[in-house]
Amino acid sequence: MMDNQGRSRGSPRKTSAFEGCSVVIHASLMVGFALTTLSPQPLRAQRADQSPTFARDVAPILQASCQGCHREGSIAPMSLVTYEEVRPWAPMIRERVVSGEMPPWPLDKTIGIQEFKNDVSLDDDEVETIARWVDSGAPMGNPDDLPPPVEWASFENDWQYEKHFGRPPDIVVASPAYTVPGNELDHWPNLETEVPGLAESRWIRAVEIRPADPDTRYVFHHANPSIIQDGGSVAVGHSAAGTVGYIFPNDTGQALKPGARVRFGMHLFPIERDVDAVLQLGFWLYPEVEVPDFETPGEVIHEASQSTGFGHEMDSAPGFGPDRGSGGGRGGTSSDSQFPRQVDLLIPPHSTATYRGVYVMDRPARIHSVRGHMHLRGRYQVIEAIYPDGRWEVINKLDWHHGWQTAFLYEDHVMPLLPKGTVLMVTNVFDNTVNNPHNPDPNQWVVRGDRTVDEMSHARIGITYFDHEEDFERLVRERERVLAEMERERLQANR
Ligand code: HEC
């Protein structure tokens, strides 16, 4: 089904990725997987009357969608490479795959845009294959059917986007080594490095952010690096479990000027021994002579901190009725080009709470990625647009899971195009009751703060603003042309 921006809707899946999840993942786990557009599609040449086998049907799915994390020395708790390794996990694999928790893709597939450059989720056929394989006793099948094992790059050479661009990053910026002493409290070191080898200005096409070695991975919680130049600083994205990096639209970039410095913005998490931590940023650049049409500020914070009331028993408590918004009215009236600024958060014990940020676009814009941010009480996040012509659209619903900080990168032909005057709304729903399996203590009042037991409430929107209406109109016409072309090809293929 296509809506009027030509986006096709995903087929509904039984359960959202969030439901039934009970394990908090240590956020220092760095995610590694290939862009699905590039990994070979698993073979699914099986007839409905045959039960699936490991060798023929299941191994290719595990290679394409699981082993990036589930192999010796990678981040997941067990290797899923050989039949002997996989077999004992079969019932658990069925459970995690059917519930949508594995592979991690915390997005509601029943609503909103479903085409992403970094989609790692399984399609319905693959889920079905795994479920039927387990239900029929998880047989090995004929070993001759086994696909050749995947040859994984060594950690040092393992840049995920290398497959996409066909070359390693053009520039690698490494942080100074920072010793994280064993058994201490968290560290937030203030590290900077000048970007090497910049004789003239260049434009960033993509960035990947990663711990430089397995040791750093143990102590790495997350990073919010930025580029410092021209007396200002601009975010270059984020790194944590679920986010590899960012690939910008192919007409858009971020400038890197001679003398630019990278500030690493790391949060490190000591283990039982001393570790020298090094973070790397890999930049893929536009060719030397090329200047992209548009410059993006990267990810921009859209706060969702206007209370819209509390749910459950607190609705009737004095002073906390639905009309008592904390700082209500200020969000959404941001006077600068950024989204609504922080207001406040206050989540009573044993209650749910909904916070929202509303912003009227003062210029046309294009969204290339979204990433949610909440902590342990976060349940889900809805991003909506009301267009100037009155159309209303849920752009996406993110099923929040604190262990996975996934940035969702839209395919080029579905990136939301927002005319000036569009109302962009971000709504975050918190659950501070016993029903939230991640809730460390439902008796607590929860306030805003950096600690994991406090809360935060925003979305990071990867966006490009257009100062000239003509540029935006050109992109709208180009989109219409691309969608019409895709539709023609689809009809042709169906003939
Ligand atoms: C992005 C990395 C990543 C990918 C891809 C991934 N996993 Fe996982 N998986 C993890 C991590 C980390 C854990 C441990 C945390 C947790 O249980 O959620 C885990 C846990 C699991 C568990 C539960 C283990 C336990 O001890 O409870 C199962 C089963 C599982 N994964 C199966 C799969 C399957 C099957 C696939 C592919 C269809 C897959 N995973 C893809 C990272 C990944």
Give the angle 121-300-205 at the CA atoms, nearest 5°: 65
Residue 451's pLDDT is 79
Residue 26's pLDDT is 32
Q: 438 near 314, Cβ under 8 Å?
A: no
Residue 163's pLDDT is 85
Give which of 136, 125, 157 is closest to 60, Cα–Cα: 125
CA 437 / ligand 1 centre spacing (Å): 18
Ligand 1 atom closest to the Cα of residue 61 is 38
What are the distances in angstroms from CA 379 to CA 90, 171, 248, 370, 469? 29, 38, 28, 16, 37
Q: What is the dihedral of CA 14, 18, 20, 23, to 10 degrees?
A: 150
Residue 440's pLDDT is 94
CA 386 / ligand 1 centre spacing (Å): 37
CA 11 / ligand 1 centre spacing (Å): 23
Ligand 1 atom closest to the Cα of residue 65 is 37
Ligand 1 atom closest to the Cα of residue 29 is 12
**pLDDT per position as a tens digit, 418-427:** 999 999 999 9
* Buried/exposed 384-397: b ≥16 CB within 10 Å, e otherwise: bbbbeeeeebebbb
d(CA 104, CA 167): 27
Q: 186 near 221, Cβ under 8 Å?
A: yes
d(CA 112, CA 127): 21
d(CA 212, CA 169): 14
CA 403 / ligand 1 centre spacing (Å): 12
CA 67 / ligand 1 centre spacing (Å): 9
First to last CA, the chain: 18
d(CA 284, CA 103): 27
Residue 449's pLDDT is 85
Residue nearest atom 33 of ligand 1, based on CA coordinates = 102
CA 198 / ligand 1 centre spacing (Å): 40
Q: What are phi and psi of 399, to 5 degrees?
A: -85, 100
CA 184 / ligand 1 centre spacing (Å): 29
Query: What radius of gyration do the chain's Cα atoms show?
Result: 23
Q: 417 near 315, Cβ under 8 Å?
A: no
Q: Among 35, 96, 121, 402, name the best residue to mutate to test ligand 1's pocket (greatest count of ligand atoms within 8 A of Cβ).
A: 96
Residue nearest atom 35 of ligand 1, based on CA coordinates = 93
CA 254 / ligand 1 centre spacing (Å): 34
Give which of 215, 225, 315, 233 is closest to 272, Cα–Cα: 215
**pLDDT per position as a tens digit, 437-462:** 999 999 999 998 877 889 999 999 99
Residue 234's pLDDT is 84
d(CA 333, CA 116): 31
Q: Among 57, 79, 101, 102, name the best residue to mutate to test ligand 1's pocket (greatest count of ligand atoms within 8 A of Cβ).
A: 102
Cα 171 from chain centre: 24
d(CA 300, CA 464): 10
Residue 43's pLDDT is 45
Residues of the chain with pLDDT below 50 are: 1-46, 309-338
Residue nearest atom 25 of ligand 1, based on CA coordinates = 77
Residue nearest atom 15 of ligand 1, based on CA coordinates = 25
d(CA 133, CA 318): 55
**pLDDT per position as a tens digit, 354-411:** 999 888 999 999 999 999 999 999 999 999 999 999 999 999 999 998 888 899 999 9
Ligand 1 atom closest to the Cα of residue 404 is 1
Pocket of ligand 1 (CB under 6 A): 23, 25, 29, 31, 33, 65-66, 68-70, 75-77, 89, 92-93, 96-97, 102-104, 120, 122
* Buried/exposed 85-121: b ≥16 CB within 10 Å, e otherwise: ebeebbeebbebbbbbbbbbbbbbbebbbbebbbbbb
CA 241 / ligand 1 centre spacing (Å): 12
